[in-house]
Structure 1
Amino acid sequence: MDTAARMSKIVKHNGTVYLCGQVGEGEPVADQTRECLSRIDALLEKASSSREHILQAIVWLADINDFAGMNSVWDTWVPQGHAPARACGETKLARPDLKVEIIITAAVKDA
């Protein structure tokens, strides 16, 4: 789904949804996280999944000092009782203006 020459935004296989890394625009990291999670919501819906079906999240921050700012948005976005397995680390992102990138693996609803 949503396949281009370089990558796919969504890959579905055996009841599992894999999303490519999502980023957001804006300042501060909370704004980028909010937009990133909104994009994830849209892709999950398109793939017949939802927040409640997320299995794993990998969060990359350009600066680990933004951990609290990212979590302030993340914690209100994740449905109560449905927190996925998650890893978070610091890395250099594709563009200097990016502060956060999130990669999601989820189950398809009713798969």
Structure 2
Amino acid sequence: MQTIERQQTNQRMSQIVVHGNTLYLAGQVGDPQHNIADQTRDALARVDALLEQAGSSRERLLQTTIWLADMADFAAMNAVWDAWVPAGHAPARACGEAKLADPALRVEVIVCAARG
């Protein structure tokens, strides 16, 4: 049986869960005072930091779910996303609209990646 490792854990959630060679990251958001592009950059910088902590990188992305508070932000978010994803390493991805935890949040990024 493979073990499950949890990092940065509190009563509600873990920022990183590792099962075998697969990493699952909690949803990452940006500074709610920023616009959509800067919130996306903030969230992706947090993803980078968690991937590094867990022994991975954006070249190892498997799947990403992106929630936008308003699909009108799709193009602006994608401009940042497209610059962030390494060429040839795009993950399976879904993007939809959802009411986020704080009304000032515009984007939340959820990532699964391979370790190593």
TM-score, normalising length: structure 1: 0.97
Listed as ranges, the gaps of 5+ residues in structure 2 are: 1-6
Task: Give the whole-Å Cα distance in 2 for the aligned partners of 1:20 and 1:27.
Answer: 21
Partner of 1:94: 101
Task: Give the whole-Å Cα distance in 2 for the aligned partners of 1:74 and 1:47.
Answer: 21
Residue 8 of structure 1 aligns with an amino acid whose one-letter code is: S
Residue 112 of structure 2 aligns with an amino acid whose one-letter code is: T
Match of 1:10 among 12, 16, 25: 16
Taking every aligned residue pair, what percent have the same amino acid on both sides?
Answer: 62
Cα offsets for 1:23-53 (capped at 9, x unmatched): 0013320000000000000000000010000
What RMSD in Å do the two structures reach over aligned CA positions? Answer: 0.6
Task: Give the whole-Å Cα distance in 1 for the aligned partners of 2:17 and 2:34.
Answer: 30
In the TM superposition, 1:14-93 aligns within 5 A as 14-25=20-31, 26-93=33-100
TM-score, normalising length: structure 2: 0.93
Task: Give the whole-Å Cα distance in 1 for the aligned partners of 2:53 and 2:34.
Answer: 27
Considering fraction of residues, name the structure with more strand. Answer: 2
Give 4+ residue runs of structure 1 displaced > 3 Å after superposition.
Answer: none
**Secondary structure of 1:2 counterpart:** strand
Task: Give the whole-Å Cα distance in 2 for the aligned partners of 1:55 and 1:84.
Answer: 5
Task: Give the whole-Å Cα distance in 2 for the aligned partners of 1:12 and 1:27.
Answer: 31
